[in-house]
């Protein structure tokens, strides 16, 4: 069975990187293939990388409220490129009322501060398992 | 002869340890500090090496500066909040910059249009700083620009330009502006601009303020950002002092005199949650600086030996779950800061893990400060824990370990080399990982995470701040407006002159002040200087100089 492929990224000008690096390490330890894109990525650059990496999941680490402004744009781009089968999950600081806005935009899971890594791992595994077919490549 | 207690269990792990991994005995006694010479290593407050405090009377003469951090939205939003904070007793103006300005780009940059004012004050030009400081007389306001990224440079030139416009002498300005690149460039927002240009401009600022005999402190060190990334107290001491050393060395390379530039050394620490370790850390920090100034740099100016500690409670140790508990956490943190003799204290607010502070959270932050100041009796004696066997042992131990790490960094060729080799990046990542694993295993107990957990639906909500899109849009509009309304020919000429002068390697501050007066923006100043040095105008490669012929 092929490994789950995850692209982890920061989005926009949010400079808090600790969580993104942590979760990248933890998902790798859990047997996933992880590419960490780094800081200051745009919706365009994230989607392009996810396409290139044939990602199953895009995980965004957000510690600034720019998420509700930028993630919907990214979701639109995924739709445009026929990549709606890529699961988008968000971790970080997402207090009410933002989770609802993000879910309406298509984000599948939101992991708030203090979420343990095993929960993130099992959620991602469930999401990917729920998909009947996965593209071998794009 | 007392039986020696083993600090380690059978597996070789310390039985008890500080958050930096220093093993802790069951109890400490005179034997543990018998080789510490009071006169040489501790001394009274106000006496070298200042372990007990930089002033003889400390809080008996003057309380610590009670600060509250702020900054969000449009320039007007920030000004209104600062006015509110001042009305409830916050001393001075302490702000953090938003991400575009920390990165050196304008609010109307394509990457910034959704981000202006989201996490701090938006300062694209003097037009914004003027608004933000409206109502705050420059000769009576103590300013603190600490989380600046690269914007410290333009904030300095804008502030001096503003003083000139208002007829306030530069010598009347008070507070501090953080321009030192060496504690920021390897983490957070510091990574986008070239270090050599940033260093050149930072030294220009320090030289300018020194030559003009200003009391505003620009010679500023810190490792608060690294601490917020997860490093330990020992590492924070070592990294911060090393960043100060790197900055001093750059300044001395220019032929400036240590005694002249280090006239008002300021250091920013985070306040962690390991209570006694933090107290010892502040004491060790003062002592380390005094020794570095005297032994490494042969300081003769007595003021250069006294390190002013401006500290900010760590947001990293606060939790999103049951956020009112954060008021309690911060109370312990600011207590540690006061017992550690810090000179300016800024408590994080209860909503730090969730949002920019609300007025409610700010109110309780100020209450926290005032309860400590007025109801506990803590300010009435200098360094009350001095002489405690544990505290004196821990102070000496932290100093020893931190100097060992500084030596390692020196052996690698200094901080910049240590960063290049990946040594520091590795430390940041490893410490964060270690802590997370300790929490996940349950070894590290955190109330709300793995102790006293309640389901989300039972959480007692607190008001959550949201910076409106309208505020960001207003800020973007302001930036576009000032670019239209100003004398663009003058700005173009000044920026051209700036590039020429940079090539002549002269101090650029007078020109930067002139350019700031004409409302040249942070993006234009950095972009022009970048182009002059053969780089892209825009670090993101999205826009070009508007002044291209």
Structure tokens at B38: 């009071």
Tell which residue, B302, B290, B274, B282, has the closest CA to residue B344.
B282
| Range name among B248-252, B262-266, B331-335, B489-493 with the lowest pLDDT average | B262-266
The C-alpha atoms of residue B378 and residue B519 are separated, in whole angstroms, by: 47
In sequence order, the 6+-apart residues with CB closer than 8 A to the CB of B474 are B73, B74, B76
CB contact under 8 Å between A15 and B99, yes or no, is: yes
How many angstroms separate the CA atoms of B272 and B312, rounded?
Answer: 9
Cβ(A69)–Cβ(A61) below 8 Å: no
Which of B103, B429, B432 lies closest to A13 in CB terms?
A: B103
User: Which fold is adopted by the domain B219-417?
Assistant: TIM Barrel (3.20.20)
Q: Which residues of B touch A12 (CB under 8 A)?
A: 99, 111, 114-115
At B533 the pLDDT is: 97
- Residue B447, chain A, CB below 8 Å: the answer is no
Residue A6, helix vs strand vs coil: strand
Tell me if A117 and B230 make a contact (CB, 8 A cut-off).
no
Stretch (H or E) spanning B267: strand B266-271
Which residues of chain A neighbour B229 with C-beta distances below 8 Å? 17-18
B354 shares contact with chain A (CB less than 8 Å): yes
Which residue in A has a C-alpha nearest to residue B188's C-alpha?
Answer: A15
CB contact under 8 A, A95 and B114: no
Q: Look at residues B476, B540, B524 and name the one whose alpha carbon lies nearest to residue B128.
A: B476
Q: Within a 10 A sphere around the Cβ of B35, how many other Cβ atoms?
A: 8
pLDDT digits (tens, 9 = 90+) for B351-400: 999 999 999 999 999 999 999 999 999 999 999 999 999 999 999 999 99
Please compute the mean of the pLDDT values over residues B292-312 and round it to a whole number. Answer: 96
Higher pLDDT, B4 or B384: B384
B443 three-class SS = coil
What pLDDT was estimated at residue A136?
Answer: 62
pLDDT tens, B435-477?
999 999 989 999 999 999 999 889 988 999 988 999 999 999 9
d(CA B519, CA B532): 20
Q: Is B317 within 8 Å of chain A by CB? A: no
Choose the mutation target among B119, B225, B270 for the interface with A, i.e. most A CBs under 10 Å: B119
One-character DSSP codes across B493-525: HHHHHHHHHHHTT---HHHHHHHHHTT--HHHH
Question: What residues in B contact A39, CB-CB < 8 Å?
Answer: 191
Mean pLDDT estimate for chain B:
95
* Contacts with A112 from chain B: Cβ below 8 Å: 320
Q: pLDDT means per 10 residues in chain A (138 residues)?
A: 93 93 96 96 97 97 94 97 97 93 97 93 96 69
Cα(B189)–Cα(B268) distance, integer angstroms: 17
Position A118 scores a pLDDT of: 94
Q: Do A15 and B100 touch (CB under 8 A)?
A: no
Taking CB atoms and an 8 Å limit, are B464 and A96 in contact across chains?
yes
**How many Cβ atoms are within 10 Å of B140's Cβ, its own excluded?**
10
Tell whether A42 is within 8 A of chain B (Cβ).
yes
pLDDT of residue B4: 67
In chain B, the percentage of residues whose pLDDT exceeds 70 is 99
Task: Measure CA B445 to chain center.
Answer: 28
Res B188: pLDDT: 75
- CA distances in angstroms from B216 to B152, B253, B545, listed in the order given: 13, 22, 33
Length of chain B: 549
Selecting from B100, B355, B432 the residue whose C-beta is nearest the C-beta of A95 gives B355
Contact A116 B440 (CB under 8 A): yes
Phi, psi dihedral angles at B217 (to 5 degrees): -85, 125
Mutation pick from A11, A13, A64, A117 vs chain B, by most beta carbons of B within 10 Å, is A13
Rounded to 5°, the CA angle B422-B98-B172 comes to: 105
* Token reading at B237: 């001491």
* Contact between A15 and B189 using a beta-carbon 8 Å cutoff: yes
Contact B192, B539 (CB under 8 A): yes
Which residue, A70, A57, A58, A54, is CA-closest to A14?
Answer: A70
As a whole number of Å, the end-to-end CA separation of chain A is: 18
3-class state of residue A87 by DSSP: strand
A17 lies within 8 A of chain B by CB: yes
Put simply, the answer to whether A14 touches B540 (Cβ < 8 Å) is no
ipTM for the whole complex? 0.91
Domains and their CATH numbers in chain A: 5-125 (3.40.50.280)
User: Which has the closest alpha carbon to B69: B99, B100, B90?
Assistant: B90
For the entire predicted model, the pTM comes to 0.95
- The C-alpha of A135 sits at a distance from chain B's nearest C-alpha, in angstroms, of 32
Q: What is the mean pLDDT of residues B486-512?
A: 97
Q: Is the CB of B411 inside 8 Å of chain A's CB atoms?
A: no
Residue contact A18–B320, C-beta within 8 A: no
Q: Which of B119, B229, B466 sits opposite A64 (nearest CB)?
A: B119
Angstrom CA distances, B231 to B5, B189, B238, B279, B463, stand at: 29, 18, 10, 17, 31
Q: Does the pLDDT value for residue B1 go beyond 80?
A: no
Instruction: Give how far A136 is from chain B: nearest CA, Å.
Output: 33
* pLDDT tens figures, B243-287: 999 999 999 999 999 999 998 899 999 999 999 999 999 999 999
**Cβ of B321 and A96 within 8 Å?**
no
The strand order across the sheet containing B93-96 reads: B69-70, B93-96, B142-147, B174-177
- By residue count, chain A amounts to 138
Structural domain boundaries in chain B: 219-417
Using pLDDT thresholds of 50, 70 and 90, give the confidence band for residue B5.
Answer: confident
Burial class (CB in 10 A: 0-12, 13-18, 19+), B362: buried
Cα–chain center distance at A126: 14
């Amino acid at each position: 069975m092929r490994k789950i492929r995850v692209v982890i990224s920061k989005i926009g000008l949010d400079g808090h990187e600790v969580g993104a690096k942590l979760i990248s390490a933890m998902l790798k330890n859990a047997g996933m293939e992880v590419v960490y894109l780094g800081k200051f990525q745009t919706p365009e650059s994230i989607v392009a990388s996810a396409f290139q990496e044939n990602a199953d999941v895009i995980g965004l680490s957000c510690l600034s409220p720019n998420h509700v402004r930028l993630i919907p744009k990214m979701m639109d781009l995924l739709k445009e490129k026929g990549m709606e089968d890529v699961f988008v999950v968000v971790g970080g600081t997402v207090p009410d009322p933002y989770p609802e806005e993000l879910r309406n935009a298509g984000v599948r899971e939101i992991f708030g501060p203090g979420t343990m890594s095993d929960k993130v791992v099992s959620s991602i595994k469930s999401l990917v398992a729920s998909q009947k077919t996965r593209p071998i490549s794009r | 002869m007392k039986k020696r207690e083993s600090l380690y269990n059978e597996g070789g792990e310390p039985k008890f340890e500080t958050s930096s991994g220093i093993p802790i005995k069951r109890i400490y006694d005179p034997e543990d500090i018998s080789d510490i010479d009071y006169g040489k290593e501790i001394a009274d407050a106000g006496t070298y090496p200042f372990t007990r405090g930089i002033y003889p009377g400390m809080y008996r003469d003057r309380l610590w500066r009670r600060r509250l951090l702020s900054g969000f939205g449009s320039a007007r939003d920030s000004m209104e909040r600062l006015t509110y904070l001042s009305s409830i007793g916050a001393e001075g103006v302490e702000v953090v910059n938003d991400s575009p300005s920390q990165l050196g780009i304008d609010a109307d940059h394509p990457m910034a249009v959704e981000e202006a004012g989201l996490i701090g004050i938006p300062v694209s030009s003097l037009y914004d700083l003027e608004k933000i400081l409206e109502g705050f007389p420059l000769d009576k306001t103590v300013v603190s620009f600490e989380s600046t990224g690269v914007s410290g440079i333009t904030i300095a030139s804008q502030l001096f330009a503003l003083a000139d416009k208002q007829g306030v002498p530069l010598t009347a300005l008070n507070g501090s502006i953080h321009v030192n690149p060496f504690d920021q460039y390897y983490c957070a927002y510091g990574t986008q601009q070239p270090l050599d240009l940033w260093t050149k401009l930072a030294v220009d600022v320090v030289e300018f303020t020194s030559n003009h005999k200003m009391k505003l402190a620009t010679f500023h060190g810190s490792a608060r950002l690294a601490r917020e990334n997860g490093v330990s107290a020992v590492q924070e001491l070592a990294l911060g002092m090393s960043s100060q050393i790197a900055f001093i060395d750059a300044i001395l390379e220019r032929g400036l005199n240590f005694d002249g530039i280090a006239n008002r050394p300021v250091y920013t620490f985070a306040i962690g949650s390991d209570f006694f370790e933090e107290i010892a850390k502040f004491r060790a920090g003062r002592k380390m600086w005094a020794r570095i100034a005297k032994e490494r740099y042969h300081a003769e100016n007595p003021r250069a030996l006294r390190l002013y500690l401006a500290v900010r409670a760590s947001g990293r140790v606060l939790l999103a779950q049951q956020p009112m508990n954060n008021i309690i956490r911060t109370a312990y943190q600011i207590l540690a800061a006061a017992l550690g003799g810090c000179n300016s204290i800024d408590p994080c607010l209860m909503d730090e893990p969730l949002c920019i502070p609300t007025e409610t959270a700010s109110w309780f932050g100020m209450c926290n400060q005032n309860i400590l100041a007025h109801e506990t009796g803590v300010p009435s004696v200098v360094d009350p824990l001095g002489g405690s066997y544990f505290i004196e042992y821990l102070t000496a131990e932290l100093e020893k370990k931190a100097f060992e790490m500084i030596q390692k960094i020196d052996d690698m060729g200094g901080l910049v080399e240590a960063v290049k080799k990946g040594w520091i990046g590795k430390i940041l990542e490893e410490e964060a990982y270690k802590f997370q694993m300790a929490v996940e295993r349950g070894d590290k107990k955190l109330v709300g995470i793995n102790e006293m957990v309640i389901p989300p639906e039972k959480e007692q909500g607190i008001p959550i701040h949201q910076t409106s899109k309208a505020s960001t849009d207003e800020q973007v509009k302001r930036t576009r407006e000032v670019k239209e309304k100003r004398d663009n020919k003058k700005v173009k000429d000044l920026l051209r002159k700036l590039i020429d002068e940079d090539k002549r390697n002269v101090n650029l501050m007078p020109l930067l002040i002139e350019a700031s007066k004409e409302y040249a923006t942070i993006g234009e100043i950095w972009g022009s200087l970048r182009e002059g040095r053969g780089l892209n105008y825009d670090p993101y490669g999205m826009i070009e100089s508007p002044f291209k012929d």
